[in-house]
Structure 1
C-alpha cells in the first residue's frame, strides 16, 4: 500500500514538474512573440531605437561643442585682426 502511494505521489510530482516546464516555455514563447510584434510595429512607424537616439544625441552635443569652440576662435581671430589692421582715414563721401 505504501508503495502505491509513493508511486502516485511520484507521478503527480512528475506531472506538476512537466506542467511547470510547459508553462515556462509558453511564457517565454509569448514574451518572444510580443517582443517581435512590438519591434515590427515600431519599425513600421519609423520610430528610432533608444540606441539610435542616444547616438544621434551624442553627435549633436559634440557638434554643438565644436560650434561653440569655433565661434570663440573666430571671435578671437577677428579681434586680433581688427587690432592689427591699420586705421584708415574716413573715406570721402561721394
Structure 2
C-alpha cells in the first residue's frame, strides 16, 4: 500500500522486511533448538514415546504368554 508520503512508504517497507526477518529468525531458532534437543536425547540414550509404548505392549504380551504357559504346566 502506498501513501502520499515517500518517507512513510519506506518505513512501511522496512517494517515489513523486519517482520519477515524476525519470523525467519524464530523458525531458525526453533529448528536449532529441536536439533540440540535431539542430540541431547541421543547422548542420554533416551527413546521416543512411540518406542516406549511399543516395548511396553510387547512386554505385557510376553507376560500374558508366560502366565498362560505357567497355568498349562501346573495343570499337567
**What range is the shorter-chain TM-score in?**
0.7 to 0.9
Q: CA RMSD in A?
A: 1.8
Unaligned runs of 5+ in 1: 79-94
Match of 1:10 in 2: 9
TM-score by length of 2: 0.78
**What is the aligned length?**
74
Unaligned runs of 5+ in 2: none
- 1:55 maps onto 2:38 in alignment: no
TM-score by length of 1: 0.66
RCO comparison, higher one (Cα < 8 Å, 6+): 2
How many Å apart are 1:32 and its aligned residue?
0.8
Q: Which protein has the larger Cα radius of gyration, Structure 1 or Structure 2? A: 1
